[in-house]
Structure 1
Amino acid sequence: MRGTVLVCGRPGESPQVPEGVAVHALPARPGRSDIDSLLTDALVVVGSDADLAAVALRLLRRERLDATTVGYVPVDRDSAVARLWGLPANPRDALALALSGEARPVPLVRDDAGGVLVGHGVIRQPRGVAYCDDTLALRGEAASITVRPGPAGLVATITRGRLLRRRTVFEGRAFQLGTAPVRPVSDGVPYPRPLERWTWYRHTHDLRLVLPAR
């Protein structure tokens, strides 16, 4: 067993941690003052995708992404991170994996407002121009744009139409949008104010996430 367990936001929902494993209760989406003193070479995050993103951001800021393995125990049944990487749905199984499994590098997506995306981002009803790398992805209106980490860095899906939905998928290292004001949502957290420009892009270092065996 290895790792310091960080229980974020809702400690009552966390699975039973084995004896001898250090556990720290933190607020939801912990920040610098909550977590920096707890950063070690092996962490287990119990919480939401937004909590995992908050921890990943601190690792990025402290330049510890290459030195730290991160296990994840999602408390939300609809966790995009769990779906994306095949993590166990049962919290007890997820904790066992997080404490004893092997870490593999997965893409970490950043945005140009200083945040990170670990699972799912969405922009609703954009109206403007978007590019995925050098490819024109959108000119005009769309019902939504969703972005998730992917092999090349990210995968962006543009959905058009109201009744007959048409989806176009793009893969690349960066997705840039110029639009009428929108509020991007990253891992369930809306940006505080509307913006006319937004970029998601692959960070130069990956997140070392504990994953099921291949």
Structure 2
Amino acid sequence: MVACGEDQHSFPGLDGESLVRVPARPGKAEMDLLLRKHDRVVVAGTDADLAAVLVRLLRTDRVTGVSVGFVPTERDSAVAARWGLPAGTDKALKLALDGTATEVPLVRDDTGGVLAGRATLHDLRGEAYCDEHQAFAGPAAAVEVSSDAAGLVARVTRGKLVKRTAEFHGRAFQLGCVPTTSLVSDGLAQPRELTKRTWYRHTEDLRLVTGFIR
């Protein structure tokens, strides 16, 4: 198991050989050898930590070769909510270690990143499409992108006094907008100004241990 970050959770029953502690959002130096050696990895950390590990799966071409379990260390984990992971570290750890992996969509973006849980933006002006369908043109109070069974779902909220939210499901969501720094991806604010971003379903699905009975 890979435990990410400075928050040193204890994991009873795991010894020094099966428990590896790495920095938050681990990169090539911490992950690539592990991912090449093992066909199953359990990640304990934040949604952003999981996203960093999934980036390394992509870079090492191991998306279909490694099953992934996740033990969220944040109560508001969007990954846990989306994939039915149990509350509490002990229950989540048991599922991550013993559960069966199933194929779920892997959502990436056009900057080389991976979206593990949820991306949000607010107070936008621009235009966006989900596949061939226009999601909005003009102002939008908020946009939220996350994965779903079809690939991804985008929720667009419009209006100031009376807010209306529409959902769009598809394989890709393309956004063009006036410059904004409002993007928060997997809980991390992205300070770099952006004028466009695309999220899309990867050609290979992720093998993820979920809390759903299939």
Under TM normalisation by the shorter chain, which class is it?
over 0.9
The residue identity in structure 2 corresponding to 1:45 is V
The Cα offsets for residues 21-73 of structure 1, whole Å up to 9 and x where unpaired, read as 61110000001112112112110000000000000110011000100000000
Residues 49 and 111 of structure 1: is their aligned pair in 2 closer, same or farther, counting only changes over 3 Å? same
TM-score (norm 2): 0.94
Is 1:7–1:14's contact at 8 Å kept on the other side of the alignment? no
The residue identity in structure 2 corresponding to 1:37 is L
Residue 14 (structure 1) shift: 4.4
Moved >3 Å (runs of 4+) = 17-21
Is 1:10–1:47's contact at 8 Å kept on the other side of the alignment? no
TM-score (norm 1): 0.94
Is 2:83–2:212's contact at 8 Å kept on the other side of the alignment? no
Residues 14 and 175 of structure 1: is their aligned pair in 2 closer, same or farther, counting only changes over 3 Å? farther
The residue identity in structure 1 corresponding to 2:6 is R
C-alpha RMSD over aligned residues: 1.4
Residue in structure 2 matched with residue 127 of structure 1 by the alignment: 125
Measured in 1, the distance between the counterparts of 2:77 and 2:14 equals 24
Residue 185 (structure 1) shift: 2.0
- Pairing of 1:129-144 with structure 2 (within 5 A): 129-144=127-142
Residue in structure 2 matched with residue 176 of structure 1 by the alignment: 174
The residue identity in structure 1 corresponding to 2:129 is Y
Residue 212 (structure 1) shift: 2.5
Measured in 2, the distance between the counterparts of 1:98 and 1:131 equals 35
Measured in 1, the distance between the counterparts of 2:7 and 2:171 equals 36
The Cα offsets for residues 144-184 of structure 1, whole Å up to 9 and x where unpaired, read as 10000011110000011233221000000000011001232
Measured in 1, the distance between the counterparts of 2:45 and 2:124 equals 30
Instruction: List runs of 5+ in structure 1 lacking aligned partners.
Output: none
SS of 1:125's equivalent?
A: strand
Matched, 1:7 2:3: yes
Is 1:146–1:157's contact at 8 Å kept on the other side of the alignment? yes
Measured in 1, the distance between the counterparts of 2:122 and 2:196 equals 14
Residue 192 (structure 1) shift: 4.0
Residue 191 (structure 1) shift: 2.8
- Of all paired residues, the percent bearing the same amino acid is 52
Out of 22, 25, 29, which is 2:21 matched to?
25
The residue identity in structure 2 corresponding to 1:28 is A
Question: Mean alpha-carbon deviation: is it higher for 49-58 or for 20-29?
Answer: 20-29
Residue in structure 2 matched with residue 84 of structure 1 by the alignment: 82
SS of 2:8's equivalent?
A: helix
SS of 2:2's equivalent?
A: strand
Residue 19 (structure 1) shift: 4.8
Instruction: List runs of 5+ in structure 2 lacking aligned partners.
Output: none
Residue 205 (structure 1) shift: 0.9
Question: Mean alpha-carbon deviation: is it higher for 14-23 or for 92-101?
Answer: 14-23
